[in-house]
Amino acid sequence: MAELHTTINGEAVAADVDPAMTLAEFLREKLYLTGTKIGCGRGECGACTIIMNGKSVVSCLIPVMRAEGAVLQTIEGVANGRKLHPIQEEFINKGAIQCGFCTPGMIMSSKALLDANPDPTREEIREALGGNVCRCTGYVNIEQAVNAAAERMRKGEK
């Protein structure tokens, strides 16, 4: 076992961890942050996407000890209390959710993009979401949701 110190959704976390774990396993099984989904478990679906030091990563391929000293955001930290984030609201408004399994990863990829780039081109949205697979919605509504959220965030909504 090893000691891990990290920051998750603004809170300092210290934990004893098995270094053989992935970050996705740690979030789900030790911290019960089960909003982060494990789909394929090999980096090919994007369901486990979180934001690590400002960048989207697939947490199923991140060894847990790489989170030492890192700043992490998961889907649980996106809403402000009961008030949904504009990205979450626009996913609902545009019908960008069906079964919902890919949605946390989609939202985290979208948030990583919009936090760094408030006015992305269509190509930039597609690059940011290209690693997130959805088998229900067909992607068009998701792209529209990101555009709509970007517009609201540019006006100052958080």
**Closer of 65 and 79 to other proteins (Cβ):** 65
Q: Build a one-symbol-per-residue string for 74-93: x at contacts with other proteins by CB under 8 A, - elsewhere.
A: --------------------
Does 128 participate in binding other proteins (rule CB under 8 A)? Answer: yes
**How far apart are alpha carbons 136 and 130 in whole angstroms?**
15
At its nearest, how many Å lie between other proteins and the CB of residue 97? 20
Under rule CB under 8 A, how many of the chain's residues touch other proteins? Answer: 30
Does 36 participate in binding other proteins (rule CB under 8 A)? Answer: no
Burial of 81 (0-12, 13-18, 19+ CB in 10 A): exposed
User: Is-contact 137 70, C-beta < 8 A?
Assistant: no
**Closer of 13 and 65 to other proteins (Cβ):** 65
**Closer of 55 and 158 to other proteins (Cβ):** 55
For the record, the structure tokens of 44 come out as: 């090919």
Q: Which residues pair with 80 in a beta bridge?
A: 83
